[in-house]
Amino acid sequence: MPAYVLAKSLWGYALQKTPMTGKGLQRLEDELRRLKSVERPAIIRAIAEARSHGDLSENAEYHAARERQSFTEGRVLELEEIISTAEVIDPTTLSGDQVKFGATVTVVDEDTDKEATYQIVGMHEADIKQNLLSISSPLAKALIGKHEGDSVSVPAPGGDRTYEILSVKFI
């Protein structure tokens, strides 16, 4: 899925900004820097080494290095595109009890009484293991615009799940 959406304007098409936290943007910029300064040179060395072995048609090292180069260059292009359309939103400048981008939301599953806390972030920085929930996820979509004390129903593979919003913070 592309990092941008083309929006029709009076003058043609314009790139639409992608919401992201400062931390998320920093992680992407760090990855881009690492790919350009570490991975690219390592791949170039691997290709040169493989070429020195002679016949490239049956050289597995050469083909593996070229495949790695292709993947890396694709990821570099993808990251440059994402970074160029990023709109950084600082959650600490937001307030209120309504769920919106950047909010840290504590919910309780009404069936299991299990509590969970998530921060709603951009789709390119989401990581459920770190409790970073993509704004485009079903749970985040259900939570957006709701307030503390509200219940939301979220479609899930095993049937709808119902969550109560315990707290909304902007940290």
Domain boundary among 88, 110, 143: 88
In a domain, 80, yes or no: yes
Residue whose C-alpha is closest to residue 43's, from 23, 25, 67, 60: 67
Domain with residue 94: its CATH number is 3.10.50.30
Question: Which token pair is 35?
Answer: 């790919």
> Same domain, yes or no, for 143 and 100?
yes
Over residues 147-157, the pLDDT tens digits come to 999 999 999 88
pLDDT at 3 over 50: no
> Same domain, yes or no, for 46 and 66?
yes
Full-model pTM: 0.79
Residue whose C-alpha is closest to residue 92's, from 27, 12, 5, 169: 169
In sign, the C-alpha dihedral spanning 28, 9, 142, 148 is positive
Angle at 94 between CA 90 and CA 98, to 5 degrees: 130
In a domain, 101, yes or no: yes
Q: What's the CA gap between 166 and 27, in Å, rounded?
A: 29
Domain boundary among 45, 63, 88: 88
Domain boundary among 69, 88, 107: 88
Question: Which token pair is 142?
Answer: 């259900």
Question: Which token pair is 42?
Answer: 């390592």
Of all residues in the chain, what percent carry a pLDDT higher than 70? 91
> Same domain, yes or no, for 80 and 117?
no
User: How does residue 59 score in pLDDT terms, banded at 50, 70 and 90?
Assistant: confident
Q: Looking at the 3D structure of the chain, how many domains does it have? A: 2
Strand partners, 106: 117, 167
Cβ-defined contacts of 23-32 (< 8 Å, 24+) = 23/125, 24/121, 24/122, 24/124, 24/125, 24/132, 25/83, 25/86, 25/88, 25/125, 27/125, 28/79, 28/82, 28/83, 28/86, 28/124, 28/125, 29/83, 31/75, 31/79, 32/76, 32/79, 32/80, 32/83
Residue whose C-alpha is closest to residue 108's, from 162, 171, 168: 162
**Residues 30-59, mean pLDDT to the nearest whole number:** 91
Domain with residue 42: its CATH number is 1.10.287.180
